[in-house]
Structure 1
Amino acid sequence: MQRVTQKSIGWSLQAVVALVFTLIVLAISAALIGFNHQQLTTLTLRDAEGDFQRIAGNVRNELAGSLRIAGSVLDTATLTIDPELPPEQLATTLTLVLKDLEKVLPAAMGIFVGRPDGTHVVTQLIDDAKPPEISTDLKDGVYAFMIVEPSPDGQMVRWIVADQDGREVRRIAPQPTAFDPRKRPWYGFGLASPGTVLTPPYRFGNVPEAGITLAREARQKPGVVFGVDMTLASLDQFLDRLRFPPELELLVFDASGALIAHPHGNSYRMIRQADQENRLLTVDDLKSPLLSGMYKVFQEAPGQQERNASFTVNGERYFGRTEKVGDGFDNLFISLAVPYDTMMGPAEQIRLSLLVISGGSVIFALLIVLLASRHLALPLRRATGDIRRIMKFEFGQTQPAQSHVIEVQELSRAIDTLELALRNFMRYVPAALVRRIIGRTFSSELGGKRQPVTLLFTDVAGFTTMAEGLDPEQVMSKTSRYFSEVGAELVRSGATIDKYIGDSIMAFWNAPEEREDHVALACLGALRASRRLDHLNAEFITEGGAPMPTRFGLHTGEAVVGNVGSVDRINYTALGHTVNMASRLEKLNKRYGTAILVSEAVREATKDQYVFRYVDKTVPDGAHQPIAVYELLGALDPDEPELKAPADRLETLPAWEQARSSYDSGDWRGACSKLDELAAIAPGDRLFQVYLQRCHANLQPSQAE
C-alpha cells in the first residue's frame, strides 16, 4: 500500500516564534505609531487652525483699529473744520489734520472735502505713488494739494506741492479735468448715511493705488462730505509681519477676486495690466498657482463664513483656511495656506523618532526572542534528533532534554517510552518488517503474494532430554541465550526471523526486503549460526552444562509471503510447499548425522560460493518425489575464514565421491571397500555408516545367490 503525501514548506520553531513575535511587535508598534501620528495630525491641524484664526483676527483688528482712528478724526473734522473756507486755506487746514493722522495711522494717504457745487479739496501724502500731474524730481515735496473747482469751461484742477512744514514748493497751473467729486462713490454713500460710511476697495482716481475711503457728511453744512483715503499698502506690511513660518502664504481679496493685500503686494501691484485697464489688480493677474489655488478654494464655497480646505498645487499639498474679515469689511476675505510638509514637520519628526525607537525596540526584542526561542528550540532539536535515531533503530543514544518547560519534559519522557516500546517491538517483530512499517511501505491488510524465498528451519538435537534435567527457569535462561546467539547471526545475514517454535527457529530471506542473493545469504546465515553455536556449546560445557547441537534445513523456491491471522492479531509469515520442504530437510539431518542440509535448488544457486557434499536422493516425509539433498560444509569467501569447510571433511570428499560413484553404478563391493576406508578415517561421520549399511544390505542377496 502506497501512502500519498503532499510536500509542504517546513518552518523551524525558532523561526516561527521569532516571526510571530516580530509580527506582533510590529503590529502593536504600527498601531501605536499610527494612533500617535493621527493624534499629532489632529493636534497639528487644530493648532494650525488656531493660528489661522489668530492671524485672521489680527488682520481684522488691524483694519478695525484703523477704521476707529480714521472715524474719530473724521468725526472731529466734520465738527471743527469749516468746509466753506477758501480752497487753499482749507487745504492747509486739512494738512495739519493729516500730519497728525499719519503718525497714528500709516495707512492714511489723504483727507479731503467735497462740496455740492463740485469743489473738491484734497490733501494727500506723496511718496512712491505720486499723481501723474506732479513731477517726479521733487525732493522736498511731502504733501500735495489737489483743488478741483467748477468754471464756465468745466471742472478745473490745480496742484500745489508743500514741504514737511506746509510751505509751498511748487504750483502747477490749472487745467481741465473730468474729475467731479459728486460722481465718486464716497460722495453718494456719505450723503445717504447719517453716520460714517466705508466704501468697498476701489482704485483711487488720482494715483494708481487701491484703497478704501471713510466718508461722512459735514454736520454744519449739508451736502458737504469729508473723507479720509486709506491705502492698503500698509496692510501688506502688516501681513508680512504676520507671516511665520516663511512658507505661510496670506492673501486678502474681495468677493470679485480683486487683490486687496499681500505680503508682497507692492511688487505685485507693479503689474501694469490693471493700470492700463483702470481697475483693481485681481488674484489671477498675479500668475501665481498657489494664490490662484487659494482663491479657487473660496470660489468653491463662496457663501461660507469660514472654511478649512486641503488642496494640491503643482503636486504639493497645502492646508488652507478662508474666512470673512467682517467688522465693516464684509466684502473682504482673508485666505491662508501652508504646505503640509511644513505644517506636519514636527509631527513627522516625532513619528520618525517613534519609528526609530520602535525599530530599535523590535530589533532588541527580536534578539531576546531569538535567544529565548533558541533556548526553547534546542531541546526540541535534540528531541528531533533522538526520534530520527530511533527511527533508524539506533538505540541507546538518546539524551534527556534539559528544560524547565513542562511540555518539553513530557516530550523527553515520551521519546524514552517510544525508544523502549520500539526496541521491545523489534524483539517480537522482525527488524526489516518494523522498518517497513515505520517507513509506511508495508501494508497491514491480510493476504500475501507469491515470490521466491529461501527458508531455514533449525532444531536442537536432544532438547527434550536436556530440558527434563533442568528447572523451567534454567531452561528459559539457556534457551534465550541460545536464541540470542543464533538469531543475531541470522539477522546479521539479512534473515527475517518468522518465529521461535519451542527450541526451533523459522527464518526466511527475500522478504519483506527483496535481495537477488537471498539464497547465498541464507547459506551464509546458516554457516555463521553454526560456527557461533560451536563457541556457545564450548561455553556450555565449560560451565558444566550440556551443549545444544543444532540441525539446519535450507530450501529455496516460491512461497506466499504476507499477513496471516485475524483482524486483531496478524503474523507476517511464509506459507507453501517450500516452507514445508525446508522443515523436512532439517529433520533429515538426524538420519544422516549432518548439521546443515540443503536442497538441490540451494546448491545449484550457490555452488560457486560454497562447498557442498552430496548426501542422498530421497523422498522427505510428506513429499511425493525424490530430491537430491546436500550438506553445506563451508564458504569459499576468503574474508570469512571461520566459515571454511572443516579440513577432515575436505580430506574425505574425493574418496566419498568415488564411493558414491561405485554405489550409484551398483558396484556394491567397490562401494563397501571405499566406505570402509572412509569409516576408518572418520568414524564419527554417520553418512558413511548409512551408506555402508545400505551396501551390506545389497550384498546379502548377491551372496545368497
Structure 2
Amino acid sequence: MSQAGRKTFLWSLQAVVALVFTVIVLLISGALIGFNHHQLTTLTFRDAEEDFSRITDSVRNEISGSLRVASSVLDTMSLTVDPNLSIGQLAIILTPVLKDLGRLLPAAMGVFIGRGDGSHILVQTLDGGFPPELGTGPDLKSAVLAYMLVQPTTTGETVEWVAVDSDGRELRRVPARPTDFDPRRRPWYTASQASQGIILTPPYRFANVPEAGVTMARQSRQRPDAVFGIDMTLASLDQYLERLRFPPDLELIVFDRSGALIAHPRGAALRQFSRADLSNQLLTIDDLKLPLLSGLFHAFQDSGNGAGRNLSFNVGGDAYFGRTEQVGEGFDNLIIGIAIPYDTMMGPAEQIRSILLLVSAVSVIAALIIVLLASRRLALPLRTATDDIRRIMKFEFGHARRIPSQIVEVLELSRAIDTLELALSNFMRYVPTALVRGIIGRRFSSELGGIRQPITVLFSDVAGFTTMAEALDPEQVMNKTSRYFSEIGSELIRSGATIDKYIGDSIMAFWNAPEMREDHVALACLGALRASRRLDRLNAEFIAEGGAPMRTRFGLHTGEAVVGNVGSVDRMNYTVLGHTVNMASRFEKLNKRYGTTILVSEDVRGAAGTNFLFRFVDKTIPEGAHAEIAVYELLGADVPDEPELAASQERLNTLPFWNEALVLCEAGEWGRAAETLEELVATAPEDTLFKVQLQRCRIHAQTSRIP
C-alpha cells in the first residue's frame, strides 16, 4: 500500500505498451543507424581525399603541359632566331611566333629578347589589358598586339611603344622616351646567364599590365649575351580551376607559402584590388578579406606549412574540410588548397542516414498503430468524454456526433455531458459571458453584495418606440426588437461592455466590471459610436423594407458605483447601483431636448482620450442633480481600421462656428452670437442644438435691451 498523502502517478495500459515497444524498436534502429553512419563517414572522407588528389594531379598536369609547350618554343627560338638582327626585324619575326604560341598556350602573354647591350624587344598580346604607356582612344579599338622597343643611347635607355592590329597595321606609336628598364637587371636575365638550360621565375606581378604570371627564359645558342623569354599569365590557370570547381561551394586556390594569391577561379576580379595595383606586388590572401580563404590559409600555417595534409577549420560558425598539396613541377613553393563545407561533403551520408531514420520512424509508427488499434476501442469513448468536458470548461459549445458506446457507464457519461453543455450554454444567454467565466474560474463570488469601483455606464432608448409599436402586431414588434437588440448588443459586447439588462426598448450596459480595464471610458465611447453607426445601417434596411427606423439616443457617464450581486438567495442579478447609473440615464433623456444622439458627461470627455471628438452642448442641472453639469455630444473617433467612426463632414464644418457662437454667448454678445447661430441653422437646419441655442440667445438679447 502507498503511504497516506503520497501522490500516485497513473499510467494507461495503452501508453505503457506503446512506450515499451517504442523503446525497443528505437534502440535497435539507433544501433543500426549509428553503425551505418560511422561506415558512411569513413567512406566519405576516403572519397573526398581521392577527389582532392585527382584535382591536384589535374592542376599539376595543366602546369606541366604549359611548361612543356613553352620550353619547346624557347628551344626553337634560341636555335633559329638570330638575336643580332635589328629591333624592328626581331619584332616582325616574334609576332607570328607569339600568335602560334597563343593558339597552343593561351596563358602566353608575350615573347621577348633581351641583349647584353641593353636593348630589348617585347611582343605582347593585349588580351590582359593595355599598357598605360599606350594610353586610350578609339584608334586602339582594333589593337591586338603591342611592341615594347628598348634601345640604349648615350644618355641611357629609351622605350618606344607601338600598337598594331591583327594584320600588323600600325595603329599608334608612342615616341621614344627615357626609361629605367634595363633587361640586364631583370631576374630572368641574370638567372639565364648563370644557367645553360631553361629557367623559370617565381610568380610575380607584371609591370605594365594588371596581371600576375611567370617568365620562362633561356640563353641564346647564337649569342651568349642574348636571352629569349616567354611571359605567361596565371589567368588560364584561374579558368582551369573554375572548370574543376564542382560542386559550386567547393573552394580552390593556388598560393605560395608566404600567402600570395597565385590562382583562383575568380582570380581576374580579385587581382584588381587597389592595394596590389599601387604596391605592384602580388595580392595576398589576407588582402582579399574573404573569410573562407583566410581560414584555409591560416589552417595551413597552423599545420606547420606542411603540404599533403587534411585540414579542419571553422568559418563563421560553419565547419569546413580541406587539404593542401604541393604543386611541384618546378613550382615547389606553390601550394594547392582545397576546401569544402563539411555539410556538403557529408551530404550523401546524411541523406542515407535520414532515409534510415525515416525507415525506422515508419517501422515504429507501424508498430504503434498495431498496438494503438488494439487499445483504442476501449479508450476512445473515455478520451472523447474528457475532451468534451475540457471544451465545455473553455465555453466552446457544439461538438461532432459521438459514436454510441456499448458500455452503459460511458453512455450515461455522454448524456450527462450533453445536459451540462446545454445548461451552461443557455445560462450564458441570460448572464453576461464574462461573469459566467469568472464564476466558473472562481474569480468572482456568487454571494450577495458588491464593491465600490469606477464604472462607465451607458443607457440607450429608441425615440418614438411606443408609437411605432402601436402600429405593429406584437409578433412584428418582437421580431423587430430582437433584430435591433442583436445588432446594437453585438457592437457593445465587441467593445467590452457587460449588458446589464434590456428594459423594453432600452439597454443598460457598463464597462470595467466584472473584468477591470484602465481604458473603460474610451471603450464605452467606442461602443456607443459603433452601435450608433451600426444602427444607421440597420435603419436604412428598415426603411428599404417599408418600416419605420428605430432612432436611438445614448447617454454615458463615468464615476464610482457599487458593483455586485443584488437580489435574494434564490435569484440574483449582477448589476451596478449608484448615482453614476442614474446620471447616465438622465443624460440619455437630455438628448431629446438638444436633438443629439450621444450625450456624455464632462468626466467622460476628460477620460476618453484624444482620439475622440466632442462638442460642448450645455451646462444644465439634470434631474436628480444639485449643481450644473457640462454635457457634451460625442461626434466621432479617429480609429485607423474603422473610418466610419469618424465625425461627419457637416459636423466638422460647423464645429468652429459653433465654438465661436459659444464664446460670444459667454461674453454676453447675444446679438452677434444669434447672427452666427442663424447662419448655422441655415447651413444645418436638421441640427436641433443650433435652434435651441439660437432661441436662448434671442431671449437673452431681448432681456438685455429692457431698461
Contact 1:190 1:217 in 2 (8 A): yes
Report SS of the residue matched to 1:357.
Answer: helix
State TM-score, norm by structure 2. 0.51
Q: Partners of 1:174 and 1:126 in 2: how far apart?
A: 20
Instruction: Determine the structure 2 residue equivalent to 1:225.
Output: 227
- Is 2:146 the partner of 1:144? yes
- Offset, 1:205: 2.3
Bigger radius of gyration among the two: 1
- Is 2:58 the partner of 1:65? no
Q: How does 1:106-125 map to 2 (within 5 A)?
A: 106-125=106-125
Q: How does 1:138-537 map to 2 (within 5 A)?
A: 138-369=140-371
- Offset, 1:8: 7.1
Contact 1:202 1:210 in 2 (8 A): yes
Contact 2:257 2:305 in 1 (8 A): no
1:195-228 alpha-carbon deviations (Å, 9 max, x no partner): 1111100111222321001111112221221110
Contact 2:254 2:337 in 1 (8 A): yes
Q: Partners of 2:3 and 2:167 in 1: how far apart?
A: 116
- Is 2:84 the partner of 1:84? yes
Report SS of the residue matched to 2:132.
Answer: coil
Report SS of the residue matched to 1:158.
Answer: strand
Contact 2:311 2:321 in 1 (8 A): yes
Residues 1:121 and 1:3: Cα distance change in structure 2 (over 3 Å): closer
Contact 1:94 1:111 in 2 (8 A): yes
Q: Partners of 1:175 and 1:214 in 2: how far apart?
A: 28
Q: Partners of 1:264 and 1:361 in 2: how far apart?
A: 49
1:84-140 alpha-carbon deviations (Å, 9 max, x no partner): 110111111111110100001000000111111211111111134211111222022
Q: Partners of 1:301 and 1:312 in 2: how far apart?
A: 15
Report SS of the residue matched to 1:279.
Answer: coil
Between 1:132-141 and 1:223-232, the stretch displaced more is: 132-141
Report SS of the residue matched to 1:133.
Answer: helix
Amino acid at match of 2:272: M
Amino acid at match of 2:45: L
- Is 2:44 the partner of 1:44? yes
Contact 2:94 2:123 in 1 (8 A): yes
Q: Partners of 2:86 and 2:336 in 1: how far apart?
A: 43
Instruction: Determine the structure 2 residue equivalent to 1:570.
Output: none
Report SS of the residue matched to 1:82.
Answer: coil
- Offset, 1:28: 1.4
Instruction: Determine the structure 2 residue equivalent to 1:26.
Output: 26
Residues 1:6 and 1:194: Cα distance change in structure 2 (over 3 Å): same
- Offset, 1:341: 2.1
Instruction: Determine the structure 1 residue equivalent to 2:567.
Output: none
Report SS of the residue matched to 1:246.
Answer: coil
- Offset, 1:262: 1.0
1:4-44 alpha-carbon deviations (Å, 9 max, x no partner): 99887676776555433321211111121122222222222
Q: Partners of 2:372 and 2:207 in 1: how far apart?
A: 83
Amino acid at match of 1:230: M
RMSD: 2.6
Amino acid at match of 2:344: T
Report SS of the residue matched to 2:72.
Answer: helix
Residues 1:374 and 1:127: Cα distance change in structure 2 (over 3 Å): closer
Contact 2:205 2:281 in 1 (8 A): yes
Amino acid at match of 2:60: R
Residues 1:84 and 1:23: Cα distance change in structure 2 (over 3 Å): same
Q: Partners of 1:170 and 1:103 in 2: how far apart?
A: 25
Contact 1:110 1:122 in 2 (8 A): yes
- Is 2:71 the partner of 1:105? no
Report SS of the residue matched to 1:221.
Answer: coil
Amino acid at match of 1:200: P
Amino acid at match of 1:259: L
- Offset, 1:312: 1.1
Residues 1:173 and 1:16: Cα distance change in structure 2 (over 3 Å): same
Report SS of the residue matched to 1:282.
Answer: coil
Instruction: Give the paired residue count.
Output: 376
- Offset, 1:168: 2.4
Contact 1:18 1:373 in 2 (8 A): no
1:398-435 alpha-carbon deviations (Å, 9 max, x no partner): xxxxxxxxxxxxxxxxxxxxxxxxxxxxxxxxxxxxxx
Contact 2:108 2:230 in 1 (8 A): yes
1:161-208 alpha-carbon deviations (Å, 9 max, x no partner): 222132322222111111111111111221222211111001112223
Amino acid at match of 1:100: D
Report SS of the residue matched to 1:171.
Answer: strand
Amino acid at match of 1:273: R
Q: Partners of 1:4 and 1:251 in 2: how far apart?
A: 75
Q: Partners of 2:116 and 2:241 in 1: how far apart?
A: 39
Report SS of the residue matched to 1:148.
Answer: strand
Q: Partners of 1:177 and 1:304 in 2: how far apart?
A: 43
Contact 1:78 1:226 in 2 (8 A): yes
Residues 1:373 and 1:102: Cα distance change in structure 2 (over 3 Å): same
Q: How does 1:637-656 map to 2 (within 5 A)?
A: none
Residues 1:67 and 1:302: Cα distance change in structure 2 (over 3 Å): farther
Contact 2:307 2:335 in 1 (8 A): no
Amino acid at match of 1:182: R
Amino acid at match of 2:319: R
Runs of 4+ in 1 over 4 A off after TM superposition: 2-17, 369-375
Q: Partners of 1:27 and 1:101 in 2: how far apart?
A: 67
Q: Partners of 1:140 and 1:87 in 2: how far apart?
A: 24
Contact 1:17 1:373 in 2 (8 A): no
Amino acid at match of 1:270: Q
1:522-579 alpha-carbon deviations (Å, 9 max, x no partner): xxxxxxxxxxxxxxxxxxxxxxxxxxxxxxxxxxxxxxxxxxxxxxxxxxxxxxxxxx
Residue ranges of structure 1 left out of the alignment (5+ in a row): 376-705
Contact 2:188 2:217 in 1 (8 A): yes
Amino acid at match of 1:67: L
- Offset, 1:337: 1.2
Q: Partners of 2:40 and 2:6 in 1: how far apart?
A: 51
Contact 2:300 2:324 in 1 (8 A): yes
Between 1:65-74 and 1:181-190, the stretch displaced more is: 181-190
Contact 2:60 2:328 in 1 (8 A): yes
1:234-282 alpha-carbon deviations (Å, 9 max, x no partner): 1111111111111111111111111111111111111111111121111
Report SS of the residue matched to 2:352.
Answer: helix
Q: How does 1:546-561 map to 2 (within 5 A)?
A: none
Q: Partners of 1:230 and 1:7 in 2: how far apart?
A: 86
Instruction: Determine the structure 2 residue equivalent to 1:646.
Output: none
Q: Partners of 1:33 and 1:3 in 2: how far apart?
A: 45
Q: Partners of 2:243 and 2:3 in 1: how far apart?
A: 85
Q: Partners of 2:157 and 2:120 in 1: how far apart?
A: 10
Report SS of the residue matched to 1:157.
Answer: strand
Amino acid at match of 1:116: G
Contact 2:125 2:144 in 1 (8 A): yes
Report SS of the residue matched to 2:133.
Answer: coil
Contact 2:128 2:211 in 1 (8 A): no
Report SS of the residue matched to 1:223.
Answer: coil
Kindly, what percent of the aligned residue pairs are identical? Answer: 63
Amino acid at match of 2:62: E
Amino acid at match of 2:205: R
